[in-house]
Amino acid sequence: MSEIEVLSRAGGKLTITCAFCKGTGKDPFELLSKLSNCQVCGGRGKFSLAEPAIECAFCGGTGIHRDQRLTCTVCGGKGMVTVEKSTQTCPDCGGRGVAEGGYLPCVTCGGTGVVAKKAAAQKAKTGKKAKKR
């Protein structure tokens, strides 16, 4: 389950709580010391991210590398990643962001679980019209 909280959304920027430390600004695993700052956000507990951003599929928005006490290599521990404006579910991993074997990020989508529509359109053309607001 994701621990990310969207704090604000303005001007194409998203401010979210740091997934790795859950916004505390402290190292969640206390690897160095109880008082050490979170290595991901540098102790700030939050991030700004360019939109559109989605929850990182590889770590499920936790910011933590699968089964390890390391930061997720896909989102860098943020729990969210900025993606292309127009995306679709990665055909290779089905949106899970995980390559076969369950350990490494999917090479096709880089672990985000989505691919840019353009790239996917080369593989299979859909006749759907993009919705505009």
Residue ranges binding Zn ion (CB under 5 A): 18, 20-21, 38, 40-41, 56, 58-59, 72, 74-75, 90, 92-93, 106, 108-109
Q: If we measure between CA atoms, which residue out of 81, 107, 79 comes closest to residue 21?
A: 79
Is the peptide bond prior to 91 cis by the omega test (within 30 degrees of 0)? no
- H-only helix segments in the chain: 117-123
Task: Give the residue with the Cβ less far from Zn ion, 51 or 65.
Answer: 65
Task: Give the residue with the Cβ less far from Zn ion, 106 or 120.
Answer: 106
* Structure tokens, 25: 């600004």
Task: Give the residue with the Cβ less far from Zn ion, 18 or 49.
Answer: 18
Task: Give the residue with the Cβ less far from Zn ion, 49 or 127.
Answer: 49
Query: At closest approach, how far in Å is the CB of 72 from Zn ion?
Result: 3
Query: At closest approach, how far in Å is the CB of 109 from Zn ion?
Result: 3
Task: Give the residue with the Cβ less far from Zn ion, 40 or 131.
Answer: 40
Query: At closest approach, how far in Å is the CB of 94 from Zn ion?
Result: 8
Which residues neighbour 119 within 8 Å (Cβ) at sequence distance 6 or greater?
A: none
Query: At closest approach, how far in Å is the CB of 10 from Zn ion?
Result: 21
* Structure tokens, 61: 């928005």
| C-beta separation of 58 from 75 below 8 A | yes
Query: At closest approach, how far in Å is the CB of 129 from Zn ion?
Result: 25
| C-beta separation of 82 from 118 below 8 A | no
